[in-house]
Amino acid sequence: MTISMHSASVPLFQRQLSALLGWLDKAEAYATARKFDANNLLQLRLAPDMLPLVSQVRIASDAAKGCVARLAGVEPPKFEDNEATLDDLRERVRKTLAYVASVSAASIDGSEEREIVIPMRTRDAIRLSGLVYLQHWALPNFYFHITTAYALLRQGGVELGKADFLAMA
């Protein structure tokens, strides 16, 4: 077994997005126990100029599907960004999991030198090799938004610990 572009990307997204589904389930149970509307959690922010939970989950989803699609040289699927409930968010995560599982390892492996073009809103597109994109863009960006989502749930009172983050058996 040798590490590959697929084994260095897809299984990481799958593990962490599956863990995120578990955190959202715990968030709902917590809201039910405390008798508040679980959907209130979607608007929590760590700071007034940081994005709320709903956006953190959307961007984590985008980071995962964008990485897998770009490395495979195909267009990532567009999702609507219209999630309004915890159920909608879970559905978004499930659709992301289904997508990343649908892209074959063979189409991702060997993408180390594939040119990846990242469109930017406020500057020219960034062009990176597949390997540099995975190392220094896709993975840090994905974990940034996943960890921020975790921090928001944690700060919102949901009982989560490191074992929930790593989701190791």
Residues that bind its own copies (CB under 8 A): 1-5, 7-8, 11-12, 15-16, 46-47, 50, 112-113, 126, 129, 131, 134-137, 139-141, 143-144, 147-148, 150-151, 154-155, 162, 165-168
Q: How far is CA 84 from the centre of its chain?
A: 17
* Min separation Cβ 15 and its own copies, Å: 5
Q: Are 27 and 89 in contact (CB under 8 A)?
A: no
DSSP state, 126? E
Report, in Å, the least distance between residue 46 CB and its own copies.
5
Q: Quick check: 20 and 60 in contact, CB under 8 A?
A: yes
| CA–CA separation, 104 and 9 (whole Å) | 12
Nearer to its own copies, 104 or 155 (CB): 155
Q: How far is the CB of 87 from its own copies (least distance, A)?
A: 26
Closest by CA to 118, choosing from 106, 130, 109, 135, is: 130
Cβ proximity to its own copies, 82 vs 125, nearer residue: 125
Quick one: 107 or 147, whose CB is closer to its own copies?
147
Determine whether 76 is exposed, middle or buried from the number of CB atoms within 10 Å of its CB (0-12, 13-18, 19+): middle
In the complex, least distance from residue 165 CB atom to its own copies, rounded to whole angstroms: 6
Our CB check for its own copies shows the closer of 39 and 129 to be 129
Residue 87 CB neighbours (<10 A): 13
Closest to its own copies by CB, 79 or 165: 165
Minimum distance from residue 22 beta carbon to its own copies (Å)? 14
